[in-house]
Structure 1
Amino acid sequence: MDVSRSRRARSRRARSRRARSRRAPAFPSALRTAVPLTAAVILGAALLSGCNDSSTPAEAAASRTKDASGQRQVAAPATAGDLQAAYQRVIKDVLPSVVQIETGGELGSGVVYDDKGHIVTNAHVVGNAKRFRVTTAGGRQPFTATLVSSYPDQDLAVVKLDKVPPYLKAATFGDSKKVEVGQIVLAMGSPLGLASSVTQGIVSATGRTVSEGQGGGGTGATIANMVQTSAAINPGNSGGALVNLNGEVIGIPTLAAADPQLGGSAAPGIGFAIPASMVKTIAGQIVRYNKVVDSGRAALGITGRTVVDASYRPAGVAVVEVRAGGAADRAGIRPGDVIIRVGDDDITTMTSLAEVLASDKPGQKTTVTYARDGAERTAEVTLGEQ
């Protein structure tokens, strides 16, 4: 009996081992932890989205290609492979519309604006040059181009190819109102002279007002409503394209944030692009009129300089000159007055004044507080146009 029970026990253990050996083996822990988090999150979202629908993932994705207004929308990729394919489609579609621009020893990027050879770029890319060498994506021989007009106040310019190649492809510009934080974007251009390079990131903020420095080729412009992105923006990217996954240019990369604690070096992951709406407004006028006739930028109509207090701290903007018939002139502001507040915003420097005005519109009414002969005064001002 004891031997028989022992044999039966061994037989049961053997059958148990065989049953376990037929089960699917578990992944090693190292392999499990190596599964890309992005892929896991995207796949999980796709599976969850099908919980209330009996359709296949492809059918579910197709059903989400139109929003409530009937406008076509790009469905979220179901897998990491789909996301990669989306990147590659956008790059293949848009990169031919991004060019490299050379101005003597300087180099930047540009975006094909139309099929007539107009290319929009940054004013600080063209600088004082009038003639340029433009290399298209995949092109071996550069084309020559001529400056149409530059508008440094918005850091935008348009150049025109002297000879338009038949394969030139104009970019599609998107709607700035639809740009949202979290959208995936690609930055295309020639960073550090590496033509047709692409970096990726997201829209990390919108509505930023940013002032450029005048050193290092900057125009000193103060630009409102800029798109902030985590996509790498390096020297040479200026004038290129910030593109969404619909293949639309939503901005022109212009500058990267500088970190004073790093000696003014670029802060990683913080770049800024001029919004597509402003690009179309300025470039459209230059193409049509060879100049900007309606800037849309508010102005006081003064020439000023920053003044400091007894402790050498910036304390306001001294009015040096008042343009006849301008907003300040009509409000009774005179040379020698020191502007210390516009609306509810304190003014300490020319930059702070420019940033406040950049967020306003021509024709808008505001209050300007200024000092004259040691006394503080306030004037109602209807802003003019720059």
Structure 2
Amino acid sequence: MHTSPIHALGRRVAGRAPGTAGRAVALVCCAGLAAGCTGSTAPTGQDTAAATRAAAPMAADDLENRYKKVIKEVLPSVVQIQASGDLGSGVVFDGNGHIVTNAHVVGSEKTFQVTTANKEEPLRASLVYSYPEQDLAVIRLDKVPAGLKPAVLGNSEKVEVGQIVLAMGSPLGLSSSVTQGIVSATGRTVSEGESDGGTGATIANMVQTSAAINPGNSGGALVDLDGRVIGIPTLAAADPHLGSAAAGIGFAIPASMVRTVAEQIVRQGKVVDSGRAALGITARTVVDTSYQPAGAAVVTVRKGDAADRAGLRPGDIITKVGDRPVTSLTSLAEALAAERPGERTSVTYQRNGVSKTVEVTLGEQ
């Protein structure tokens, strides 16, 4: 369970990206100075310190050149998307003009203006399909320009905490912007709010990053230093005390999920295999006598689906899925996000004040 609000990033706010090369130089130089400050007066020690100082600028140059190489390779695959008055970002998925972005970027729009990194005049694009449950969507350029370059999607399973990443997109409406950071965590399950422009989706296995991600970055690219897109920046945490974005806490939908959803949309025009577990119910949050969230009350049960087969009925109050407590509709969604369709799990619920537990074979959303 997370304690900070999470905001979708399709709209503009003021922000400034930190310089990447200067940060790399400072880190490498500090390491070089520490290695040279041994206090030794022997000739061999002096030679070692001199060699370290000479190597430090070279190492900084190597990292800076690698940044430049990745940016040059990947930035042409990142576009700016304008839907009505809102701006977001997108990633070129294939050479046929398909672009993957966030569902909250496209909203309810059907047509868009797309600006590529190497073309000033916007191009017209149309919606192929939006999948709010995973906050992903695919649009397609009406006319594919020469030289359109698809991005290379990486393997999310190989993403490691601590690896350097670059976030590319259009924060503040500033197209082709790049920030840098690291992978702070993997496997996060995060729920979007709807009041701040999100879809209300609960998304599992998200990549957390310290790279600066601001409104307008949504739908862009989180890239490793091999030039592979490892995620689609989507959310930022907000500081509940300040009421503003919490610096250095952003989330990206993993590339493996992006590939799975986008390929289905491109090939079949919709998502036919979501990979998301479901009970086959609609529900609402209920509160206890202290007005605190106390569970998810079943409102309707789809006939023949998982909950129906397990004997759940409208009015039952779900309090646990597996070993995960359920106190609200959001926590129910988060518990299900950790499961897979076809898996068996226990569901604890209250009926007429009596607690019961049943085994459920999960369905698909």
User: Pick from 228, 231, 255: which aligns with 2:211?
Assistant: 231
SS state of the match for residue 257, structure 2? helix
CA distance in 2, matches of 1:384, 1:35: 48
User: Pick from 281, 284, 291: which aligns with 1:305?
Assistant: 284
After TM superposition, list the pairs within 5 Å mapping 1:8-157 onto structure 2.
36-40=25-29, 79-157=59-137
SS state of the match for residue 237, structure 2? strand
Change (3 A) 1:351 1:159: same
Q: CA deviation at 1:374?
A: 1.0
Q: CA deviation at 1:338?
A: 0.4
User: Pick from 164, 176, 179: which aligns with 2:144?
Assistant: 164
Root-mean-square deviation (CA, aligned residues, Å) is 1.9
Greater RCO, CA 8 A, separation 6+: 2
Q: CA deviation at 1:136?
A: 0.2
User: 1:156, 1:279 within 8 Å by CA — same for their partners in 2?
Assistant: yes
Match of 1:318 in 2: 297
Q: Does 1:209 align with 2:189?
A: yes
User: Pick from 362, 367, 378: which aligns with 2:341?
Assistant: 362
User: Pick from 249, 252, 259: which aligns with 1:280?
Assistant: 259
Q: Does 1:269 align with 2:248?
A: yes
Unaligned runs of 5+ in 2: 1-22, 37-56
SS state of the match for residue 232, structure 1? coil
Unaligned runs of 5+ in 1: 1-33, 48-76
Q: CA deviation at 1:233?
A: 0.5
Q: Taking structure 2 as the reference length, what is the TM-score of the superposition?
A: 0.86
Q: CA deviation at 1:45?
A: 12
CA distance in 2, matches of 1:44, 1:170: 43
Q: CA deviation at 1:258?
A: 1.2
CA distance in 1, matches of 2:32, 2:144: 45
CA distance in 1, matches of 2:24, 2:283: 59
| One-letter code aligned to 1:350 | L
Match of 1:10 in 2: none
Change (3 A) 1:365 1:46: farther
Per-residue CA distance 1:16-38 (angstroms, 9 max, x = gap): xxxxxxxxxxxxxxxxxx99542
User: 2:221, 2:232 within 8 Å by CA — same for their partners in 1?
Assistant: yes
| One-letter code aligned to 1:137 | A
Change (3 A) 1:234 1:273: same
Match of 2:50 in 1: none
User: 1:103, 1:126 within 8 Å by CA — same for their partners in 2?
Assistant: yes
User: 1:299, 1:385 within 8 Å by CA — same for their partners in 2?
Assistant: yes
Instruction: Work out which of the two has the higher radius of gyration on C-alpha atoms and give 1 or 2.
Output: 1
Per-residue CA distance 1:270-328 (angstroms, 9 max, x = gap): 00000000000000000000000000000011000000000000000000000111110
| One-letter code aligned to 2:28 | A
User: 1:322, 1:329 within 8 Å by CA — same for their partners in 2?
Assistant: yes
CA distance in 1, matches of 2:34, 2:75: 30
Q: Does 1:176 align with 2:153?
A: no
SS state of the match for residue 241, structure 2? helix
User: 2:185, 2:207 within 8 Å by CA — same for their partners in 1?
Assistant: yes
SS state of the match for residue 196, structure 2? helix
% identical aligned pairs: 71
User: 1:42, 1:79 within 8 Å by CA — same for their partners in 2?
Assistant: no
Q: Taking structure 1 as the reference length, what is the TM-score of the superposition?
A: 0.81
Q: Which runs of 4+ in 1 moved over 2 A?
A: 34-37, 40-47
Change (3 A) 1:311 1:269: same
The count of aligned residue pairs is 323
| One-letter code aligned to 1:169 | K
